[in-house]
Chain A
Amino acid sequence: MVTVITPTASIEVPTAVVVEDDLWLDAGDLDRVTGYELKPEGFCRDDVCVPVPAGREAEFLRPNGVNLATLWRHLGGAVVHDASAASWSLGDAPADHHARLDALEAPDFTLPDVSGALHSLRDYRGQKVLLAAWASW
């Protein structure tokens, strides 16, 4: 069992296969973990597609499998794992930042309150928001 930790979730991927620094997932799990879909034009998310680099297809793709670790590094994101390679953690990819920061758009998030009810920043459009981070520590 492999657990993949992203900035927004921890996702168990029973069918993942670890080969040294590679993490092979089936295409459905890639979508579930990262939101990237494998299409003929490459890895696609939100209308943006990243082509598989020519000549490096074998590093990214194999029958029924995609290499999440190689894809993520290609996107500029950090990929780290524990000693047993059972838990993998993905850093925020820089491409996720650039467009929205240039527009000065406040990145959206969805988080629970104490009762477990989920709130998203976008629910508060139309109001000024003082987003105030604190902690018990």
Chain B
Amino acid sequence: MNELADRNFTVIAVALDSEPGAPDPWIEQAAPTYPALIDRAHLLSTLYGIVNVPTAIWIDEDGRIVRPAEVAGAYEAFRHVDPETRTVPEEHRDRARHHRSTYLDAIRDWAASGPASRHALAPDEIRRRLNPPDPAIAEAHARFRLGQHLRATGNEPEARAQFDEASSLHPESWAIWRQAADKLENGIAGGAAFSARVAALGDRHYYPPPDIDGIAE
């Protein structure tokens, strides 16, 4: 997206990462020319209703929301791994590429055309998508932050209890669940518990597609 810098456009990347240093290698490797910020408390989840990553919000020159939080170009190809070959079939790799390129094209269109872009949502539609504050979700975030504090101060059993309560109050949040989950050696919250939680989605999406051109399903 660096190509758009001369169009009065910037990316602000924010890592929802509570573990000190965890996002640093990724940022060093990406060497971004735009701000790359770190949000250890997941404040953005509270402010913008983020439940998973990658998620993006479009904000115009006046600081107003143009598109609320939605999946940013990702496709759940990992849910289609062939159990025999343990690879993602070509059809789903194609879809992943299509989701990504369609989303990036939509951003380019908005960067060029602003409010005239067909991807800039009407105010009433934006309000409809901005869910009203939900007391259970607000409590989930409060418990998540309490859990982080307890974990950081060495009280893992109580931290775990707060994280579990947070996830049961806000089950849609993969950000809460994965941040709190045990990590594999590569730092990813994968493994059997993750697979089981994904399987429990059934027909529901891990990455609900945004309604942009051909990628909404």
Contacts and interface: CB of A to CB of B under 8 A. Distances in A.
A48 interface: no
Given A5-B149, A107-B47, A94 B133 contact: yes
Contacts of A127: 8-10, 61
Interface in A1-17: 3, 5, 7-8, 10
A129 B34 CA distance: 10
By secondary structure, the A interface counts as: mixed
A128 B4 CA distance: 10
A135 B135 contact: no
B61 A126 contact: yes
B178 A89 contact: no
A10 B149 contact: yes
Given A109-B44, A111-B39, A133 B149 contact: no
B149 A129 contact: no
Interface string B130-172: 1011010011011101100110010100100010000000000
B77 interface: no
Interface of A: 3, 5, 7-8, 10, 76-83, 87-94, 97-98, 101-109, 111-114, 119, 121-122, 124-137
Contacts of A89: 142-143, 145-146, 149
B46 A7 contact: yes
Contacts, number: 214
A134 B127 contact: no
A106 B37 contact: no
B127 A104 contact: yes
B204 to A, nearest CB: 21
Interface in B23-75: 23-24, 26-28, 35-39, 41, 43-44, 46-48, 50, 53-66, 69, 72
Nearest to B64: A104
Nearest to B11: A130
Interface stretch (B84-92, B106-114, B195-203): B106-114
Interface size, B (range):
35 or more
27 contacts: A7-B41, A77-B138, A78-B143, A79-B142, A80-B143, A82-B155, A92-B47, A106-B48, A109-B43, A111-B38, A112-B38, A113-B36, A121-B63, A124-B10, A124-B12, A126-B61, A130-B11, A130-B56, A131-B48, A131-B57, A133-B15, A134-B15, A135-B175, A135-B179, A136-B17, A136-B26, A136-B187
Contacts of B142: 5, 77-80, 89-91
Contacts of A94: 132-133, 135, 138
Contacts of A107: 47-48
Contacts of B9: 127-130
A132 B72 contact: yes
A83 B155 CA distance: 11
B215 interface: no
A106 B57 contact: yes
